[in-house]
Structure 1
Amino acid sequence: MPKDKDDGGWKKFVWNSDTGEFLGRTGGSWAKIGFFYLIFYGCLAGVFVGTIQAMLLTLSSYKPTWQDRVAPPGLTHTPRSEKQEMTFNLNDVESFLPYTKALKDFLAQYDDDKQSDPTKFEDCGAEPADYKHRGDLDSDVGSRRACRFSRSLLGPCSGIEDRTYGFQEGKPCVIVKLNRVVNFRPRPPLSNESIPLDAQSKVQPYVVPLFCANKRDEDAGKVGEVKYHGIAGGFPLQYYPYYGKLLHPQYLQPLVALQFTNLTMNTEVRIECKVFGENIHYHDKDRYQGRFDIKLKINNL
């Protein structure tokens, strides 16, 4: 086939001057198909936008609509380390420096000067009390004031006097908190039936108790005395509920400081800490749901 005829074939397909067609269609045909797709994709966009708007109408700005995948609450601690193991040497400051730095950084938000604004914080007492009602969760009438929690309540684990948080003396501190869950009200245990005998003395009104003990039977007697610093050694109810970041931006969780004062030296000890409450549960697949365990080893050689 001649070369000129080939060129004329595809050129004529792109633009046919005899019929006024561009790519096989006239201007009217292109206008019709363009109008069709404009309407078609416009309808698709409208359905998409309408669906998103309908979904947004079901959402609240103040509370997660669906919390079925949240297992309240998690129990976490500071400092945290890889595989939940804390090992240090009394004669080597560098070995426990990461732990003391983590405690210092975490407790910085609990400094008294950061809780001095009376429009954002209020005193809720140093004794356990009932829930603090601050209005409805879905109300947009201003932000809610938060209860002050002075780090001085943590005693020797506050870092105010002892900047090593007991690590240098072989009496390390661990800070424990309940994770934030919007509108969650932890309920203290109603009876001692599900609480270990050694922990029953910690049950009292208006506080959710925390208790730590050896995780393994072979560690019995190696944990020694555990001191609990904070408000009644647990989580007082007046700090609940939490209203979320929008209404409660300055909220501070109550803390409990654990100080292990007499751990067996040069031996790894596995400790489990649990919080006890009527609506606090545990799950084998989630080791932080209402509890955690940690391995401690203090070397002095």
Structure 2
Amino acid sequence: MPADKDEGGWSSYLWNSERKEFLGRTGGSWFKIIGFYIIFYSFLAGIFIGTIQALLLTLSVYKPTWQDRVAPPGLTHSPRSEKSELAFNLNDVETYLKYAKSMRDFLEPYSDEKQKDPLKYEDCGPSPSPYKDRGDFDSDIGSRRACRFERTILGPCSGIEDREFGFKEGKPCLIVKLNRVVNFYPRPPTNNESIPEDAQQKVQPNVIPIHCTHKREEDAGKIGEIKYYGIGNGFPLQYYPYYGKILHPQYLQPLVAVQFVNLTMNTELRVECRVFGDNIKYSEKDRYQGKFDIKLQVTNL
């Protein structure tokens, strides 16, 4: 170590009063160095902020700019349950009351009294019809009206007359929906090549058909009759597209009720439901993309 630092020279190295130097540099030298870094990093920050501002100018607060990688909507159901299992005993009310309550809560926004305002809702017809064009996303129209969806369309699965949704009689209902995707236009199937033979008769204009069947071959013949309730027994196109939470705050997506009226008792059954459309795909990684499967077990012992 240099002698001057051994003999207390560290203090003179930090501040040299004779040369007016701090850490070996004069005040003017330090001013130039600090000024350089301030200007340099301010320049970088300006480029970054300018780039972000330019990007924001290309984005819409209403409509996603890039949707080429957006997955098709998921197909989900109410009631939801742990591990997608619905198991209950006809002789024990407590085993299915939680399912019924979940469905009543889910359907609450669809109550007639909540869809009366003509400035927010409109009648879109009792049968499937083409897409409902409500103007461009960036127009000055503001929030858009939504199509009414009356619960009576769901028949015995509406929860109006039967508040247990068929569970009490061993004929449980599921309420099925396609999840919301902004500016998504579901396209009905144009042919029957990808549709099971027993579901092909459901193909019709202006509706996305849904079909449920046994998941396992050993359950064939045990599921019994399945009834569907909804507009066209599927998802009608007049409810699309969805304009997002800002422009479509009161939007209600269409629903389909699926009722199992003759399940084999005391047996675990696997059921799969799928929707069919030209731009609806399925994924093994996402069990709810365009389809779902559920375990059903009704006990009467």
Tell whether the structures are fold-level matches, with TM greater than 0.5: yes
Aligned match of 2:91: 91
Q: Any residues of structure 2 matched to 1:7-18 within 5 Å, and which? A: 8-18=8-18
Moved more, 17-26 or 166-175: 17-26
Moved more, 15-24 or 272-281: 15-24
Aligned match of 1:139: 139
Matched letter for residue 290 of structure 1:
G
The Cα shift of 1:251 comes to 1.0
Measure the CA separation in 1 of the matches of 2:279 and 2:250. 26
In the alignment, is the contact (CA less than 8 A) between 1:137 and 1:183 conserved in 2? Answer: no
The Cα shift of 1:227 comes to 1.2
In the alignment, is the contact (CA less than 8 A) between 1:172 and 1:260 conserved in 2? Answer: yes
Measure the CA separation in 1 of the matches of 2:95 and 2:139. 49
Aligned match of 1:193: 193
Aligned match of 1:66: 66
Which structure 1 residue ranges, 5 or more long, are not aligned?
Answer: none
Task: Deviation per CA, 1:6-25: give whole Å up to 9, x if none.
Answer: 68423323332222223332
Task: Deviation per CA, 1:243-262: give whole Å up to 9, x if none.
Answer: 12222121110000111111
Matched letter for residue 250 of structure 1:
Q
In the alignment, is the contact (CA less than 8 A) between 1:209 and 1:235 conserved in 2? Answer: yes
Task: Deviation per CA, 1:94-130: give whole Å up to 9, x if none.
Answer: 2223322221221111112222221111111221111
Q: Any residues of structure 2 matched to 1:99-248 within 5 Å, and which? A: 99-248=99-248
State the SS of the aligned residue for 2:132.
Answer: coil
The Cα shift of 1:147 comes to 0.3
Q: In the alignment, does 2:263 pair up with 1:263? A: yes
State the SS of the aligned residue for 1:232.
Answer: helix
Matched letter for residue 294 of structure 1:
I
State the SS of the aligned residue for 2:167.
Answer: coil
Q: Identify if the C-alpha distance between structure 1 residues 93 and 39 changes in structure 2 by more than 3 Å, giving closer, same or farther.
A: same
Measure the CA separation in 1 of the matches of 2:51 and 2:270. 52
Matched letter for residue 221 of structure 2:
G
Measure the CA separation in 1 of the matches of 2:72 and 2:140. 25
- TM-score w.r.t. the length of structure 2 is 0.92
State the SS of the aligned residue for 1:168.
Answer: helix
State the SS of the aligned residue for 2:232.
Answer: coil
What is the aligned-residue RMSD (CA, Å)? 2.0
Measure the CA separation in 2 of the matches of 1:205 and 1:44. 56
Moved more, 53-62 or 158-167: 53-62
Moved more, 174-183 or 185-194: 185-194
Aligned match of 2:80: 80
Aligned match of 1:40: 40
Matched letter for residue 284 of structure 1:
E
Which structure 2 residue ranges, 5 or more long, are not aligned?
Answer: none
Measure the CA separation in 2 of the matches of 1:259 and 1:7. 94
Measure the CA separation in 1 of the matches of 2:216 and 2:140. 50
Q: Percent identity?
A: 73
Aligned match of 1:299: 299
Matched letter for residue 49 of structure 1:
I
Measure the CA separation in 2 of the matches of 1:92 and 1:6. 90
Moved more, 79-88 or 168-177: 79-88
Task: Deviation per CA, 1:213-232: give whole Å up to 9, x if none.
Answer: 11111101111111111212
Measure the CA separation in 2 of the matches of 1:255 and 1:224. 22
Aligned match of 2:55: 55
Matched letter for residue 105 of structure 1:
D
Q: Identify if the C-alpha distance between structure 1 residues 23 and 113 changes in structure 2 by more than 3 Å, giving closer, same or farther.
A: farther
Measure the CA separation in 2 of the matches of 1:31 and 1:141. 57
Aligned match of 2:28: 28
In the alignment, is the contact (CA less than 8 A) between 1:186 and 1:280 conserved in 2? Answer: yes
The Cα shift of 1:272 comes to 0.9
